[in-house]
Amino acid sequence: MATVDLTVDSFGTTVAENDTVLVDFWAAWCGPCRQFAPVFEEASAKHEDVVFAKVDTEAEQQLAAMAGITSIPTLMAFRGGVLVFSQAGALPGSALKDLLTQVKGLDIAEVRRLAQEQADRESARGGQAEEPSVDEAVESAADQLNALHGR
């Protein structure tokens, strides 16, 4: 599957309507971004069950700001609409393959349960019941990934 370009208008829909979405935040002037691009493209051809998307941070500055991008390339993985991975830096092909295996292996119901528990704890402390923050969702997913690897 070829990569798709995301905009501020298409980002939410793409993440919400697909089981697994991998997003590469990049810019044309970024050397590491240019080095990572072929690795990302090659993986997209091998994993047709994953949406591989790119966000040009120069053209989509608002989206990059909303996503909290401070360094590029930044790779984000979403599973079932939940952010489960976010990391700046280009990955070698073997690390990207390992990441995809881990993301696909996540029990998304468990990730959502952990995120809900966090929201419930926040609500119990007197705050309004809100969606878990991106950091909380990533932390929950990271805990599950670590458990899968016995860490």
Catalytic residues: 30, 33
**DSSP reduced 3-state for 148:** helix
The Cα–Cα gap between 109 and 151 comes to 21
- The b/e string for 69-94 (b: 16+ C-beta within 10 A; e otherwise) is beebbbbbbbbbebbbbbeeebbeee
DSSP string, 56-74: ETTTTHHHHHHTT--SSSE
Evaluate whether 79 touches 103 at the Cβ level (below 8 Å): yes
Evaluate whether 47 touches 100 at the Cβ level (below 8 Å): yes
Which residue is associated with the tokens 């994993």? 47
DSSP E strands: which ranges in 7-141? Answer: 20-26, 51-56, 74-79, 82-88
